Amino acid sequence: MSATVIQFNPAPGISSNQRPKVDLNDLLTRHDVPGPRYTSYPTIDQCTESVGVGALEDALKGRCLGGLRRPMSLYVHVPFCESVCYYCACNKVITRKHDRVSHYLNCLEHEAMLIAKKAAGNLTPVTQFHMGGGTPTFLNDKELLGLVQGLKMVFPFAANAEMSIEVDPRTVDENRLLSLRSIGFNRISFGVQDFNSLVQKAVHREQSFESVESLVKAARRLGFESINVDLIYGLPKQNPERFAETLDQLVSLSPDRVALYGYAHLPERFKPQRRIHSEDLPDAAGRVALLAQAIERMQGAGYDYIGMDHFAKPQDPLAVAKRQGRLHRNFQGYTTQPDADLIGLGVSAISKVGSVMVQNTRELDAYEDALSRGHLALFRGHELTRDDIIRYSVIMGLLCQGSVQFQDYSQSHWIEFESYFEKELAQLRQFSEQGLLDMDEQGIEVTPLGWFFARPIAMVFDHYLHQRSSGHSKVL
* pLDDT tens for each residue of 202-257: 999 999 999 999 999 999 999 999 999 999 999 999 999 999 999 999 999 999 99
The answer to whether 264 is annotated as binding is yes
135 is in an annotated binding site: yes
Residue 476 has pLDDT above 80, yes or no: no
Q: What angle do CA 380, 381, 387 make, to 5 degrees?
A: 150
Q: Has 392 been labeled as part of a binding site?
A: no
220 and 124, same domain (yes or no)? yes
- Residues 476 and 462: their CA atoms lie apart, in Å, by 18
196 pLDDT band, cuts 50/70/90, is very high
Residue 25 Cα to chain centre, angstroms: 24
Tell whether 14 and 55 lie within a shared domain.
Answer: no
- Report yes or no on whether pTM surpasses 0.85: yes
Residue 38 lies in a domain: no
Q: Are residues 440 and 301 in the same domain?
A: no
Asked whether residue 429 is marked as a ligand-binding residue, the answer is: no
Are 145 and 252 within one domain? yes
Closest CA to 226 of 191, 185, 193: 185
The percentage of the chain sitting over the pLDDT mark of 70, rounded to a whole number, equals: 92
- Asked if pLDDT for residue 47 goes beyond 50, the answer is yes
Measured distance CA(53)–CA(372) in Å, rounded? 16
Residue 186 included in any domain:
yes
Helices 174-183 and 141-154 meet at what angle, rounded to 10?
10
- Are residue 332 and residue 460 in the same domain, yes or no? no
Residue 220 located in a structural domain: yes
Residue 17 sits in a domain whose CATH number is 1.10.10.920
Q: Is the pLDDT of residue 132 over 50?
A: yes
Burial of 287 (0-12, 13-18, 19+ CB in 10 A): buried
Question: Which residues, 6 or more positions from 389, have their beta carbon under 8 angstroms from its beta carbon?
Answer: 355, 413
Quick: pLDDT tens for 71-80: 899 999 999 9
Q: Is residue 205 marked as binding?
A: yes
Output the domain CATH number for residue 333.
Answer: 3.80.30.20
- The boundaries of the domain holding residue 225 are 44-343
Same domain, 108 and 158: yes
Domain match, 50 and 21 both: no
Checking if the pLDDT of 1 tops 70, the result is no
88 is in an annotated binding site: yes
Residue 26 has pLDDT above 70, yes or no: yes
> What pLDDT is recorded for position 446?
93
- What average pLDDT score do residues 386-407 get? 94
Count how many domains the chain has: 2
In a domain, 362, yes or no: no
pLDDT band at 451 (very low <50, low <70, confident <90, very high): confident
Q: Is 161 annotated as a binding residue?
A: no
Which residues neighbour 471 within 8 Å (Cβ) at sequence distance 6 or greater? 34, 45
* pLDDT tens-digit readout, 287-307: 888 988 998 999 999 999 998
Last residue within a domain, chosen from 313, 343, 373: 343
In this structure, are 238 and 174 located in the same domain? yes
**Is 67 assigned to a binding site?**
no
Task: Confirm whether residue 133 is marked as ligand binding.
Answer: yes
Would residue 349 count as lying in a domain? Answer: no
Both 302 and 208 in one domain: the answer is: yes
The last residue of a domain, from among 320, 343, 366: 343
Same domain, 191 and 279: yes
Q: Which amino acid is at 16?
A: S
Tell me if 257 sits within 8 A of 310, measured CB to CB.
Answer: yes
Mean pLDDT for the stretch of residues 6-27: 47
Does 265 fall in a domain?
yes
Q: Is 230 annotated as a binding residue?
A: yes
**Residue 89 assigned ligand-binding role:** yes
Beta strands (DSSP E) in 336-421 are 341-345, 350-353, 356-360, 378-383, 403-405
Q: Do 404 and 275 belong to one domain?
A: no
In a domain, 289, yes or no: yes
Tens digits of residue pLDDT in 63-98: 877 667 788 999 999 999 999 999 998 889 999 888
Q: Is 166 annotated as a binding residue?
A: yes
78 assigned to some structural domain: yes
The CA distances from residue 158 to 152, 161, 163, 273, in Å, are 10, 5, 10, 40
29 is in an annotated binding site: no
Same domain, 76 and 204: yes
Identify each DSSP E strand in 107-194 by its residue range.
Answer: 126-133, 157-167, 187-193
**Final residue before a domain boundary, out of 310, 343, 376:** 343
Q: By the 8 A CB rule, do 185 and 142 touch?
A: no
What pLDDT sits at residue 331? Answer: 81
Tell me the average pLDDT across 98-119.
94
